[in-house]
Amino acid sequence: MSVIQKPDPVPAPSAAGRVPFLDLKAQQARIGAEMRRRVDTVMAHCQFVLGPEVAELEAELARRAGAAHCVSVSSGTDALLIAMMAEDIGPGDAVFLPAFTYTATAEVPLLLRATPVFVDIDPRTYQMDPADLERRIDAVRQGGKLRPRAIVGVDLFGQPADWDALVEIAKRHDLVTIDDCAQAFGAKLHGQPLGTQADCTAISFFPSKPLGGYGDGGALFTESAERAALYRSLRTHGEGKLRYDVQRIGINGRLDTLQAAVLLAKLSVFDEELVARERVAKFYDQRLGNLLTTPARVADSTAAWAVYAVVLPNSDVRAAVQEACKAEGVATAVYYPKPLHHQPAYAAHHEGGALPVAEDVATRIMALPIHPDLTEAQLDHVCNTVTRALAQAMTA
């Protein structure tokens, strides 16, 4: 109890009036005790790098993904970097990836001096379009300048990419498959958790991802013992069997023990949280499905729902709805306002011309709050606000 009472001039908005995009405080109320117990254990043993929690987390993640090997790393971006370093991807190599994704997917091949080749997306699911992928692989082969090497499928917004098609195309063209699963750990395809569909799978523990830590972190899954050994070496400066035996160029890419402890606590509620996210998605589907374009479900899959994105008729309507949401305390966000081939950093590397679906969707897409602690009153408030704003914008 403080001696000086602070004045509170602004009345607190009602709970339903404030709908944050993410509510990590509410989550702490559910897992705080387990989190503190886990963190205290680390503080007691002081093995802050590669402590016992790291191995425990890797075993638990591998079990959940149904994967033979899990190697934890310092971020989702470093997971992609280590995956591509392990395949020796570099100058002259073409890495095929969707144009509609987070910047990290394209940044990593460029860090290795390889060339990202941007692929358009499916107009229904916004996942990489296998037909366009095939066309672009053929174009690169015919161009004769680059060697097709890898396909990076992205499980956009927490729904699986079309792995049946991507793996089939990769086999036919002898390409490595990398799953950028940063947004989708916990999702399933044909009843199988994501983690074994591609040659390697990269996930992220950035705080806003479905399984988020309290800082940066990531992990790699693979069925190959050779790849797993390479990942372990690469995350610790390319070390060999002995500590000061440097076998290859690596990075400092380990996951902190404290983050592993936090993630183990978070895993104790992860399954319930996935159910809660699905409940939010269904609520939006039902309330908004007749008014705007709600996310099309990828066939025979369950989503991790990192992002619930709707698509509006045009960019003016999007701006008006976002404005109205802001006024009502409803957080919205645009993932992604620009396809990557239009980003200044990547435009110079893009030779493939227009990617019409990605370009169009970027102008109209908008994400609504989705997290496990949203109440029915908050969801009601989001849907009422969007419905009203949309009606107004369409008659304006």
CA dihedral 126, 127, 130, 135 (to 10 degrees): 60
Q: Is 127 in the site for ligand PLP (CB under 6 A)?
A: no
Q: Among this protein's residues, is 209 annotated catalytic?
A: yes
Neighbours of 14 (CB within 10 A): 10
Most distant pair of Cα atoms in the chain: their distance: 76
CA distance 358 to 186: 26
Q: Is 75 in the site for ligand PLP (CB under 6 A)?
A: yes
User: How far apart are CB 335 and ligand PLP at their closest, in Å?
Assistant: 8
CA distance 184 to 72: 16
From the list 38-46, 101-109, 348-356, 380-388, the region that binds ligand PLP by CB under 6 A is 101-109
Q: Which is nearer to ligand PLP, 97 or 288 (CB)?
A: 97
Residue 122: closest CA among 106, 107, 133, 113: 133
From the list 52-60, 71-79, 118-126, 139-147, the region that binds ligand PLP by CB under 6 A is 71-79
Q: Which is nearer to ligand PLP, 100 or 283 (CB)?
A: 100
Hey, is 128 helix, strand or coil?
strand
Binding pattern to ligand PLP, positions 167-206, x when CB under 6 A?
-------------x-xx--------------------x-x
Candidate list 209, 241, 282, 326, residue with the active-site label: 209
Binding pattern to ligand PLP, positions 20-59, x when CB under 6 A?
----------------------------------------
Q: Which residues of 185-201 are buried (b: 16+ CB within 10 A; e: fewer)?
A: bbbbbeeebbbbbbbbb
User: How far apart are CB 384 and ligand PLP at their closest, in Å?
Assistant: 30
User: Are the C-beta atoms of 277 and 372 separated by less than 8 Å?
Assistant: yes
- Interacting residues of 149 by C-beta distance below 8 A, sequence separation 6+: 87, 89, 93, 94, 95, 114, 175, 176
Q: Which is nearer to ligand PLP, 162 or 216 (CB)?
A: 216
Among 102, 163, 270, 308, binds ligand PLP (CB under 6 A): 102
C-alpha distances (whole Å) from 117 to each of 5, 25, 121, 211 are 60, 40, 13, 29
Catalogue the active-site residues.
209
Q: Where does this chain bind ligand PLP (CB under 6 A)? A: 75-77, 101-102, 104-105, 154, 180, 182-183, 204, 206, 216, 218
